[in-house]
Amino acid sequence: MLYGFGGSVLRVNVGTGDIDIRALDPAFARRWLGGRGFISKILYDEVPRSTSAFDPDNLLVISPGVLAGHFAPGGSKCCFGAISPITNGLGDSTVGGHFGPELKFAGYDLVILRGISPGPSYLVIDDDKIEIRDAARYWGRGSMETEKMLKDDLGCDFEIATIGPAGENLVTSACITHDYGRQAGRCGIGAVMGSKKIKAIAVRGTRSLAVYDLQKTKEVNLAIIKRTSRHPNMDPWQKYGTAMFVGWSNNNGVYPTRNFQTTYLENHEKLDGAELVEKLLVSHKACFGCWMNCGKYSKVALPDRPTVYVEGPEYETNALCGGNCGFERIDEVAYINWLCDHLGIDSMSGGGLVAFAMECFEKGLITREQLEGRQLRWGNLDDFEHFLKMIAERRGIGEWFAQGLAPAAKKISGGSEKFAVQVKGMGMSGYDGRYAPAMLLGYMTSDIGAHHNRAWTITLDDDIGRQVISGKAKLVVYLQHIRPFFDSVSSCRLFWGEVDVTPEEYIAAIIMATGWNEFTLAEAMTASERVWNLNRAHFLERNCHLGKSGRAFDYPNSRFYEEAVPSGPGKGARLTLPQLDLMLDEYYAARGWGVNGNPSREVLLELGLEDAAGNLEEAGLLGRLSTELPPSTRGERYKPKAF
Amino acid sequence: MRLKVNPDNCSGCRLCLQICAMEQFNEVNPRKARLRLEAAFPEPGKYCPRVCTECGSCREICPVDAIEENQKGVLSVREDSCIECGACVEICPEGVMMRWEDGIPFKCDFCGQCAEVCNTSALTRQS
């Protein structure tokens, strides 16, 4: 008996209607753990290198990992993955809420969609009853509207994942929305779902999860709940969620302001968590089985606009749609949050796109004529709304932005690529790296581009010294291993980062769920390192026509090594290209990669990735070690300070 | 002991459902809980746990008097008398007389685990 997992893999060809359900291979499960791990392996093995994001042979892969659905800290997550239309490498994004647990209760650890449906459709997974249904009635509707309609039509006990109009229109920053405001946001997975003409996936699961040691699970997790409830960080997290980062981020000189021109917003108090709670809060909203309830559900009533309800704005939306676009009113940012969710645009990438366009307008690189007679002024809600709809509907120059930041900068030219804030085409998360070099290194080396959640390292910068360059790479590597662990087992990292649940306690929860003999943190970290190296190999194999050196893909736009921070606590902070190269040198060395940033045969073989080693060798992409393989970082540990 | 519901505090985490099914059935399956959660989204955006209030409607409607107070003073279904007609399930004003695959109905026995696990005081014990 396979404890801990749903037990089945569901494959659906939405083009032909073929459905295949097979048992999950236990050895595969332990090696890749689930979630992000499963998705990395499936995409590496099954998607031809010549297949691009919107081709029928791209796969939309969905996986709740081993802890999803369990009585364990944060067992709520579900990972969505595909070849990304933004990076042309592996893309994945993890969403909380209830979708992942529901898939497990229906019996599935992996759902793999292939092909393109002949017309708009949605997929219903009702335990072992699988149906592809006509979605004509939902096509064109907003994300939350679609979710409500499907719950009304199917039953409120279904969990829904849906795309909005942006996903239907293949906008590369399109997201997948679930639970009225939680998103698998990044990497454009919503656009891949749209390319398959799948408007939504509805799931209902009524089975019990098989747990190896249920009694102990109950006792241990109850004790963790009791302990962490008394933790001093619990109260602010419950009250404000991530929105409380706004003040901290500004005071630490990392808050993206007016398209990362500076790192401090003068009136940031007006966007802080306290302001959100005081002015907009309707209710606190938690994911499945979570007692931190970081979600803040808001009601926004602005003059001349419909009254709307939205989950958020949490920190990233606040930063990238707020200060980064020059907004200083929490109700306006919350409305923008709703607009992004409604249209199905990732509010992080979407905020970055509009901020870039605003700076282009400020510099005269975009004209009123190109904006259908409108303007794009910092902090102007009408301008923002009009332009976001141009993107979602691919109207005029909205078409360029629908393709992504890098393609838009190429079209606009005029030096705009210097301030198109991205790595590998992926817009940057809400922390500027000039006064936090380890954060910048995390962005530069992330497998999906400039996303914070692959390694959030600012407190590491704090610990070692904000402008110290050397000596941070190894710890970035460690953080890039612990994070895939949480994404693979589908557990929220916040209990680890904020209220001191230890990695060993997560490991214990996995053992209690699965009964795995001698499962250790070292084994889990090895699985993470395997995922990281596989994704690097995959990226290089897919993008080697643009260059054979991984290093060439690892630089941010030049604002981050040519311009100093002009104001705020980070004023004067400046990085140079040689400093970025030094960080990359140390990073590649710590990973056992060649100086060109490509994985070496030695490290791939140590991790059991013989196939990737063979593929890289055949393509002339193997990195060459200049010294012996360094000792693995797997035994090291670093825990960032809690917020 | 009874349960007090403070709906404004509920964040919809379903820990109460999870622990209830574990306590009562030794299973990880929130659908087997003896309480339920209502969610009103996208508006007004509120949750409300629904729990047994011991109002006695189930006892009154039962045609064979299979529902009676047990030793703890809590209404419960006597499995040897129940004819599985489902009348108690239909009449329950809170929707918490539960039934699993047309079997014998079951209800909350006020073990208190749901209040124990609730970190927002949406559910509390009431003596």
| Closest by Cβ to A309, choosing from B45, B47, B116 | B45
E strands, A231-347, are 281-285, 295-300, 308-311
Instruction: Tell me the C-alpha distance between A384 and A404, whole Å.
Output: 17
Contacts of B28 in chain A (CB under 8 A): 69-71, 208-209, 211, 214
For residue range A562-616, list pLDDT tens digits in order. 999 999 999 999 999 999 999 999 999 999 999 999 999 999 999 999 999 999 9
If you measure CA to CA, which chain A residue comes closest to B37? A157
Contact with chain B for residue A285, Cβ under 8 A: yes
Contacts of A290 in chain B (CB under 8 A): 13, 15
Instruction: Tell me the C-alpha distance between A636 and A590, whole Å.
Output: 12
- What value does the mean pLDDT of chain A take? 96
Question: Does the pLDDT of residue A634 top 80, yes or no?
Answer: no
Question: Does the pLDDT of residue B102 top 90, yes or no?
Answer: no
Q: B13 and A206 in contact by Cβ < 8 A? A: no
User: Percent of chain A beyond pLDDT 70?
Assistant: 98
Instruction: Tell me the C-alpha distance between A123 and A132, whole Å.
Output: 5
Backbone CA torsion sign across A445, A448, A454, A456: positive
How many CB atoms sit inside 10 A of residue A603's CB?
22
Please check whether residue B66 is in contact with residue B82, taking contact to mean a CB–CB distance below 8 angstroms.
Answer: yes
Predicted confidence at residue A1, as pLDDT, reads 85
Q: How confident is the model at residue A398 (pLDDT cuts 50, 70, 90)?
A: very high
Question: Does the pLDDT of residue A636 top 80, yes or no?
Answer: no
Q: Which amino acid is at B84?
A: E
H/E stretch holding A540: helix A521-543
Predicted confidence at residue A626, as pLDDT, reads 81
Q: A238 and B120 in contact by Cβ < 8 A? A: yes
Question: Does the pLDDT of residue A459 top 90, yes or no?
Answer: no
Question: Does the pLDDT of residue A632 top 70, yes or no?
Answer: no
Instruction: Tell me the C-alpha distance between A507 and A489, whole Å.
Output: 10
Instruction: Tell me the C-alpha distance between A205 and B100, whole Å.
Output: 14
Burial level of A627, CB count in 10 A (0-12/13-18/19+)? exposed
Contacts of A286 in chain B (CB under 8 A): 11-13
Predicted confidence at residue A642, as pLDDT, reads 60
Please check whether residue A92 is in contact with residue A187, taking contact to mean a CB–CB distance below 8 angstroms.
Answer: yes
Nearest CA of chain B to the CA of A229: how many Å?
7
Contact with chain B for residue A100, Cβ under 8 A: no
Q: A222 and B29 in contact by Cβ < 8 A? A: no
How many CB atoms sit inside 10 A of residue A50's CB?
8
Please identify which residue in the block is written with the tokens 């209220």.
Answer: A499
For residue range A219-232, list pLDDT tens digits in order. 999 999 999 999 99
Question: Does the pLDDT of residue B44 top 60, yes or no?
Answer: yes
- Measure CA of the first residue to CA of the last residue in chain A; give whole Å: 41
Q: How far is CA B87 from the centre of its chain?
A: 16
- HEC secondary structure over A370-397: HHCCCCCCCCCHHHHHHHHHHHHCCCCC
Question: Does the pLDDT of residue A641 top 80, yes or no?
Answer: no
Helix (H, G, I), strand (E, B) or coil at A454: helix
Instruction: Tell me the C-alpha distance between A322 and A300, whole Å.
Output: 15
Q: B13 and A214 in contact by Cβ < 8 A? A: no
Contacts of A77 in chain B (CB under 8 A): none
Instruction: Tell me the C-alpha distance between B3 and B53, whole Å.
Output: 8
Question: Does the pLDDT of residue A316 top 90, yes or no?
Answer: yes
- The CB-side HSE value for A214 (13 A sphere, CA atoms) comes to 17
Question: Does the pLDDT of residue A635 top 70, yes or no?
Answer: no
Instruction: Tell me the C-alpha distance between B61 and B94, whole Å.
Output: 15
| Closest by Cβ to A144, choosing from B21, B26, B42 | B42
How many CB atoms sit inside 10 A of residue A130's CB?
17
Contacts of A218 in chain B (CB under 8 A): 19, 22-23
List Cα–Cα distances, A272 to A249, A281, A314, A435, in angstroms: 10, 13, 10, 21
A56 preceded by a cis bond (ω within 30 of 0): no
Q: How confident is the model at residue A353 (pLDDT cuts 50, 70, 90)?
A: very high
Query: The whole model's pTM is what?
Result: 0.97
Question: Does the pLDDT of residue A444 top 70, yes or no?
Answer: yes
- List all residues 6 or more positions away from A76 whose beta carbon is below 8 Å from its beta carbon: A68, A96, A97, A98, A100, A101, A287, A288, A289, A290, A490, A491, A492
A237-260: average pLDDT: 96
Q: A309 and B43 in contact by Cβ < 8 A? A: yes
**Rounded to 5°, angle at Cα B119 from A271 and A76:** 75
**Chain B interface mutation, best of A3, A66, A71, highest count of B Cβ atoms under 10 Å:** A71
Contacts of A238 in chain B (CB under 8 A): 119-120
List Cα–Cα distances, A594 to A425, A447, A590, in angstroms: 23, 17, 10
Q: Which amino acid is at A180?
A: Y
For residue range A81-103, list pLDDT tens digits in order. 999 999 999 999 999 999 999 99
Q: Which amino acid is at A492?
A: C
Predicted confidence at residue A627, as pLDDT, reads 78
Question: Does the pLDDT of residue A643 top 80, yes or no?
Answer: no
Residue A28 structure tokens: 């595969």
Residue A454 structure tokens: 């692959």
For residue range A462-501, list pLDDT tens digits in order. 888 998 999 999 889 999 999 889 999 999 999 999 999 9
- Measure CA of the first residue to CA of the last residue in chain B; give whole Å: 4
How many CB atoms sit inside 10 A of residue A578's CB?
10
Q: How confident is the model at residue A351 (pLDDT cuts 50, 70, 90)?
A: very high
- HEC secondary structure over A184-252: ECHHHHHHHHHHCCEEEEEEECCCCECCCCHHHHHHHHHHHHHHHHCCCCHHHHHHHHHHHHHHHHHHC
Contacts of B42 in chain A (CB under 8 A): 144, 147-148, 180, 309
Predicted confidence at residue A618, as pLDDT, reads 97
Please check whether residue A613 is in contact with residue A605, taking contact to mean a CB–CB distance below 8 angstroms.
Answer: yes
- List all residues 6 or more positions away from A633 whose beta carbon is below 8 Å from its beta carbon: A474, A477, A478, A481, A529, A590
Residue A207 structure tokens: 């089975």
Backbone CA torsion sign across B60, B63, B64, B67: negative
Contact with chain B for residue A31, Cβ under 8 A: no
User: Percent of chain B beyond pLDDT 90?
Assistant: 95
Please identify which residue in the block is written with the tokens 């997974």.
Answer: A125
Helix (H, G, I), strand (E, B) or coil at B1: coil
